[in-house]
């Protein structure tokens, strides 16, 4: 059984050094944190350990520096922000993830204090799950905690190799919350259970779709993935991003679950994503030379109407159009607002996916207007799909 930090006796943390893998992969804009949701979600675990007298080491990645030091991807701005939002005596920062400077700073760390390490991915050993780097990380602390839900699907040194070297490996409160909410949605949804899936790449959504199709009362499909289903029905899709290798599967799904699936009936189209001044609205068929960039207004209304029937559970992953282009964001914005209204009326609403969460913000729907905004993109979909996440599996591996 996987254990969480509150399963250890309180006094076990006193004066112990605890390595906490967090997911502080936040959007930065010239050193300014544009959005600190992931930092706030990690507060309960950090303060819990600090209040029990632990010396707390925080380790995270940020962006994709690919094993090199990229100053623009330093975690220093995150340390400054943590200093403002955490109720702990001090937040220190060290410009390395392992090595002499880290050891030196650790000797000055007092119980209750917090030390943030530099971006783990400045080290080539992190993503390679290099045993030497894992050992260096593990040597820093006596207890290991993973609260980085968004990184659980990666077997990296900080999420896997280092974890294996600790006797005490525990999940943090955020990981537990994400697992509780997502397993409730997957296994025990209050009905009616509605699922909205958009975005691109069916492959990324496959396990989640397979797990949710038999359970959902309705599945609303939009965004890039919907065109594969339309093509499977023989509807003309023009130059829309159809994935031919999934057409046979889509046919099977439609044969089995047709009554439960809603597909777009109209589309916002253009010759390509750059032609935003020449958008057109078409019903049903997309002519050759055009691609679907958003669901149309009728589809939006049908989808929103469906989401507002009854107060059960709604899970949403994947934007319904190329929402980054303002002119192609209407469908996604309409659905985000329908989700907010459904929540206000009492539905349990869950949103997962990096781009989907960004789309919800673009729609100006607040965190408080959604029951649970998952910090995990790929991780939340894989969890819903019942795939094993290495970061979670390694916490259960221990022989206790
Ligand atoms: P998430 O990160 O939430 O899991 P995805 O990565 O699957 O979502 O999908 C997000 C991307 O899908 C966005 O970049 C969006 O522009 C794109 N997208 C959605 N619908 C379309 C479409 N019709 N045409 C092109 N791109 C689309
Ligand atoms: Mg994405």
Secondary structure of 334-385 as H, E, C letters: HHHHHHHHHHHCCCEEEECCHHHHHHHHHCCCCHHHCCEECCCCHHHHHHHC
The tokens of 289 are what?
């030379």
Closest ligand by atom to 224 CA: 1
75: Cβ contacts below 8 Å, ≥ 6 apart: 24, 60, 62, 93, 116, 117, 118, 119
From the CA of 103, how far away is ligand 2's center (Å)?
37
224 lines ligand 1 (CB under 6 A): yes
Could you tell me the residue ranges of all domains in the chain?
5-174, 181-384
Output the pTM of the full model. 0.95
C-alpha span between 217 and 260 (Å, rounded): 6
| DSSP-assigned states of every residue in 253-297 | HHHHHGGGEE--SEEEEESSTT-GGG-EEEES-B-TT-EEEEE-H
172 lines ligand 1 (CB under 6 A): no
223 lines ligand 1 (CB under 6 A): yes
From the CA of 359, how far away is ligand 1's center (Å)?
10
C-alpha span between 313 and 343 (Å, rounded): 9
Asked if domains 5-174 and 181-384 share a fold, the reply is: yes
125 lines ligand 1 (CB under 6 A): no
* Nearest ligand 1 atom, CA 377: 4
Strands 17-21 and 143-146: parallel
Residue closest to 359 by CA, chosen among 334, 326, 333: 333
pLDDT score, position 398:
60
Cα torsion at 186, 259, 282, 308 (round to 10°)? -50
Pick 5-174's CATH classification: 3.40.50.300, 3.30.420.40, 3.40.50.1260, 3.30.390.50: 3.40.50.1260
Closest ligand by atom to 378 CA: 1
Buried b (16+ CB within 10 A) or exposed e, 123-148: bebbbebbeebbebbbebbbbbbbbb
Active site residues: 38, 201, 354, 378
321 lines ligand 1 (CB under 6 A): yes
| pLDDT tens string 237-249 | 999 999 999 999 9
228 lines ligand 1 (CB under 6 A): no
* Nearest ligand 1 atom, CA 321: 20
> 307 with 338: CB under 8 angstroms?
yes
Per-10-residue mean pLDDT of the chain, 400 residues long, equals 89 98 95 94 98 98 98 97 97 98 98 98 98 98 98 98 97 98 97 98 96 97 98 97 98 98 98 86 97 98 97 97 96 98 98 94 97 95 95 80
* Nearest ligand 1 atom, CA 292: 23
Q: Whose CA is nearest to atom 16 of ligand 1?
A: 322
Closest ligand by atom to 268 CA: 1
* Nearest ligand 1 atom, CA 359: 3
Separation of CA 142 from chain center: 29
C-alpha span between 292 and 365 (Å, rounded): 25
Does the domain spanning 181-384 belong to CATH 3.40.390.30? no
Candidate from 25, 27, 150, 199 with most ligand 1 atoms within 8 A of CB, to mutate: 199
From the CA of 357, how far away is ligand 2's center (Å)?
10
pLDDT score, position 399:
45
pLDDT score, position 400:
41
């Amino acid at each position: 059984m996987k254990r969480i930090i509150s399963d250890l006796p309180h006094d076990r943390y006193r004066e112990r050094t605890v390595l906490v893998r967090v997911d502080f992969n936040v959007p930065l804009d010239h050193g300014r944190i544009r959005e600190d949701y992931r930092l706030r979600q990690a507060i309960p675990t950090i303060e819990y350990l600090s209040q029990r007298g632990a010396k707390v080491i925080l380790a995270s990645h940020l962006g994709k520096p690919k094993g090199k030091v990229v100053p623009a991807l330093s975690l220093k701005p995150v340390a400054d922000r943590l200093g403002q939002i955490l109720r702990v005596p001090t937040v220190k920062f060290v410009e390395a993830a392992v090595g002499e400077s880290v050891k030196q700073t650790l000797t000055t760390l007092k119980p209750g204090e917090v030390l943030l390490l530099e971006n783990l991915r400045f080290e080539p050993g992190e993503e390679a799950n290099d045993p030497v780097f894992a050992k260096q990380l593990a040597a820093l602390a006596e207890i290991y905690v993973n609260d980085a839900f968004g990184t659980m699907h990666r077997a990296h040194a900080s999420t896997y190799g280092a974890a294996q070297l600790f006797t005490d490996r525990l999940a943090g409160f955020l990981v537990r919350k994400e697992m509780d909410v997502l397993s409730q949605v997957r296994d025990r949804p209050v009905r009616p259970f509605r699922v909205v899936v958009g975005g691109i790449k069916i492959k990324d959504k496959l396990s989640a779709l397979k797990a949710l199709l038999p359970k959902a009362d309705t599945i609303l499909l939009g965004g890039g993935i919907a065109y594969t289903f339309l093509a499977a029905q023989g509807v003309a899709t023009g130059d829309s991003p159809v994935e031919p290798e999934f057409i046979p599967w889509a046919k099977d799904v439609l044969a089995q679950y047709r009554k439960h699936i809603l597909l777009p009936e109209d589309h916002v189209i253009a010759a390509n994503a750059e032609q935003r001044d020449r958008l057109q609205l078409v019903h049903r068929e997309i002519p050759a030379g055009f691609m679907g960039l958003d669901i149309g207004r009728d589809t939006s209304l049908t989808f929103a109407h469906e989401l507002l029937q009854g107060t059960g559970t709604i899970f949403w992953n994947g934007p319904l159009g190329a929402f980054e282009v303002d002119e192609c964001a209407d469908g996604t914005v309409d659905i985000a607002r329908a989700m907010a209204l459904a929540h206000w009326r009492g539905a349990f609403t869950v949103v997962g996916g990096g781009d989907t969460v960004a789309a919800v913000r673009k729609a100006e729907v607040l965190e408080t207007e959604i029951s649970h905004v998952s910090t995990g993109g790929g991780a939340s979909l894989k969890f819903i799909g019942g795939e094993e996440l290495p970061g979670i599996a390694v916490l259960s591996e221990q022989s206790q």
